[in-house]
Chain A
Amino acid sequence: MGVTQIRMKVNGVTESLDVEPWASLLDTLRERLGLTGTKKGCDQGACGACTVLADGVRINACLALAVQYDGSEITTVEGVDHPLQQAFVRHDGFQCGYCTPGQICSAIGMLAEHAAGMPSAVGASGLTEDEIRERMSGNLCRCGAYNGILDAIKEVL
């Protein structure tokens, strides 16, 4: 079983990596590149803690194989510089902080999805509170900071 060489631009830096075909993008980021800002909460796409942006689109890095993203641009929380981060602080959009990088990357991706006209089950015309709640429901927060997350996102609309 061989390894595959891939090239990814991660947070603006081109990385050339030999990866095994079964290595997830999440484990590659955390264990190979030392980018531990992206979290592992379930490793099965249920919690959203591993959300990163791949070519601007939010994905669960635990459900992605690194080899699938050969040639892609990946942004993790370490590469994010967005007013949302300060808004999360102001509105206490977290407690333990473990879901936070995923929440922030997910919110950035969600805003782009909405701007691009992607629908949701709520079907409101603008980004109402219910729309934001629905579109952010793939990111679990066990500390229960949802109110603060909502306020943080509303602040940057």
Chain B
Amino acid sequence: MSTEVAEAGRAEAVRQVGRPADRFDAPEKVTGRAKYAAEFPYPDLAYAALVHSTVARGRITALDAGAARAVRGVIEVLTHENAPKMRPLSRLNLGSFVKGTNVDYLGTDQVHWNGQPIAVVVAETPEAARHAASLVRVTYEELPAKLDFAAEEPHAVPQKGNAIMRSAADKGDAHAALAAAPVKVDLRFTTPPQNHNAIEPHATTAFWQGDRLTVHDTTQSIAFLRKHLAMRFGVPERNVRVLAPFVGGGFGGKGMVWAGTLLAVLAARATGRPVRLALTRESVYHTVGGRTPTVQRVALGADRDGRLTALIHTSVARSGGMPGQVTAASRHLYAAETVHLRQSLVDLDLLPPTAMRAPGEAIGTFALEAAVDELAWELGVDPIELRMRNEPERDPLTGRAFSHRMLREAYALGAERFGWRERDPRPGAMRDGRWLVGMGVATAYHPSLIMPAAATVRLGADGTVLVRCGLHEIGVGAATAQAQIAADALGVPLESVRVEVGDSDLPAGPMAGGSAQTASAAAGVLAACDKLKRQVLALAGPPLRGRKPEEVQARDGGLHVGGSGMTYAEILAGAGRDHVEAAVKAGWARFLARTARDGRRWVRAASGAQFCEVRVDADTGEVRVSRWLGVFDVGRVVNAKTAASQLRGGIVMGIGLALSEQTLVDPRTGRVVNPSLAEYHVPVHADIPRIDVHYLDDPDPTTPLGLLGVGEVGITGVAAAVANAVRHATGRRVLDLPITLDKLL
């Protein structure tokens, strides 16, 4: 969308945008009426279950499905010996670059990771399918495999960067500057693999009618999934319909096309039955990638006043999936005289990682912001003051302008609201009985992105509005936010607007990722509303006839010039129309051109200041987060209620990242040994205190409506704020996540 249109959008009187409106889909969610992917009934539905490899790398030498086939109710056991072949992906498809999502499932005897699906059982009942799956006997010829991240880390190779995700940078000679610096810290951090653990496990219900396919899927990327399935199953894209009206959380784990979706579709084609494959929690761990582990070095050199003379941040992560921007925050947060950034990758024979909420940034900000805190200790300077001394006026590496930067305001407001002045700077000085109390801060940072989105807006003769866009309702309140935006753009009450989402038959929306869904769709919806108003104006009689669009205001359910105007109902009735509809296409070429142009002009990001108080048990080392406050610069806030919830949700997941979450991989076998919610510890209710969220609510001047994205910035900086508070409480700097109690004893 053009800047002109963006400005037109901002010029509208803001009435609904910003309000804490209740979610449109709330009634369905609190009554159980909301239907998720595994909940659509089909007559004659069959159920599938997966058989997973038990070796990391090798070749299947024998597969005995006899016992499985003999189970009452089993319809078919699909293996590499009898399954229909899927087509390879073209190099033009995004998915083909994502190792692990383009595996030739059931088309090969090769095993690439421990847990790879190697057979699918289809049965009349879920119980029969699962039981039969446990009876499939497989023998392998095993091959040597690289499974140990820590052992392979020294062999890492440089990560390739691209225009959006850069992986290396240099400014001056940072190593020499570090050596010469009077004050320095040089720390090595480690972060473990993690899994998204959306409470809804991945599920697909697939149904073929001839060469037409209907898929109910847990996807964050409806349009991409549709393309992918058309390609893999050799049917035209128009023959594939993807439905996802509700998705039970994603956090990145439902962005790519993983085995479960493909194998459900394959099983439906092979058996001629509608097939449901609802993954077990364990199967999710074996077939859907998670967050990469990392090893990071952050070295900071400073003069005695705390001005940074050297900033070195290097990272080693796993290859495959989405290469996270581990050092992204280090590019933009501090005005260091010299900078050296490098990202490297190691190849392992494990299920490849994928994007997980703020991939790169969530763990990169842990290392950077903990190192900055440690430098504050070395200098004897307050950690907020140290950050303010190094707050840049322009982007430190490129000299480009920040489109929006309010970190000073965020820290000032946060310090006041959190009571930062009460903090006794000495470690261990704030004791409350057996609890050592600590306070820590860290900066949150996440780049802002706007993707192409198509949308249509239809105005009915009764003044009601229907917005159609293939958005994903994964918990963000997508329909509600776009309804608020459209209501303001057209000057109608919120109750008059309905929004259809979650269907590939709708105009293609952006994927739900990169914190970009709301802002991207807003661009499309605003452009469509603008077009619609022009069309309506062209139909209008006096007093609007002949008026230019710029002269006309949309308000009170119609178009107005000064004191006079007409309602939409009057205009449409006068023109004999029962509706007017405007459509905006996605425009990828324009998107690429705009992204490149904007990237040369501005550095655009959401940011914030995280404040954390912990209480550490002096005897056991148990860490409890007792207070949290975050102040965020996310541009304009569309819905004060749902935006706060997303930011809180990011902080909650960040507390898990800091204190409890890790996917344990046996380095001998490559097997995930804790593939369950009982042994992978996400934060529970008792782990989470009141989380006080503030936003500065100042629109970014360079985006439609001034949005910067709220989905991911909340998790960034959280682990560092916790680690810094623990450092304050105990005097101990923990460099290895999660901060479990054994590391404090």
Contacts and interface: CB of A to CB of B under 8 A. Distances in A.
A145 B645 contact: yes
Chain B contact patch, size range: 35 or more
Nearest to A89: B26
A146 B676 contact: no
A88 B30 contact: yes
Given A27-B127, A47-B677, A89-B22, A144 B651 contact: yes
Contacts of B43: none
A47 B680 CA distance: 11
A129 to B, nearest CB: 8
B645 A133 contact: no
A57 interface: no
A96 B247 contact: yes
A89 B646 CA distance: 15
Given A89-B22, A133-B686, A23 B127 contact: yes
Given A144-B652, A149-B685, A95 B678 contact: no
A130 B689 CA distance: 9
Interface stretch (B55-63, B194-202, B412-420): B194-202
Contacts of B39: 30, 36
B162 interface: no
Contact of A142 (B27, B199, B645, B685): B199
Interface in B233-287: 246-249, 251, 278, 280-281
A contacts with B: majority SS? loop
A37 interface: yes
A95 B473 CA distance: 9
A31 B683 CA distance: 30
B731 interface: no
Nearest to B654: A144
A49 interface: yes
Interface string B415-453: 000000000000000000000000000000000000000
A96 B688 contact: no
A142 B247 contact: no
Contacts of A22: 127
Contacts of A133: 685-686, 688
Contact of A85 (B30, B41, B651, B684): B30
Chain A contact patch, size range: 35 or more
B475 interface: yes
A49 B26 CA distance: 17
B685 A136 contact: yes
A98 interface: yes
A148 B201 contact: no
Contacts of A30: 39
A41 B686 contact: no
Given A47-B199, A140-B682, A143-B475, A41 B677 contact: yes
A141 B683 CA distance: 8
Contacts of A147: 648, 688, 690-691
Interface string A145-157: 1111110000000
A40 B26 contact: no
Given A34-B41, A41-B281, A44-B678, A142 B197 contact: yes
Contacts of A31: 125-126
A43 interface: yes
Nearest to B247: A96
B642 A43 contact: no
B564 interface: no
Given A40-B278, A41-B201, A137 B475 contact: no
A36 B199 contact: no
A96 B199 contact: yes
A40 to B, nearest CB: 7
B280 A98 contact: no
A83 B248 CA distance: 24
A40 B649 contact: no
Given A44-B678, A94-B29, A144-B650, 4 more contacts: A37-B33, A96-B248, A104-B30, A147-B690
6 contacts: A22-B127, A46-B678, A97-B34, A98-B36, A134-B686, A138-B684
| Smallest CB-CB A-B distances: 6 pairs | A37-B32, A144-B652, A98-B248, A95-B475, A96-B475, A97-B29
Interface of B: 22-23, 25-36, 38-39, 41, 125-127, 196-201, 246-249, 251, 278, 280-281, 474-477, 641-642, 644-646, 648-653, 676-678, 682-686, 688, 690-691
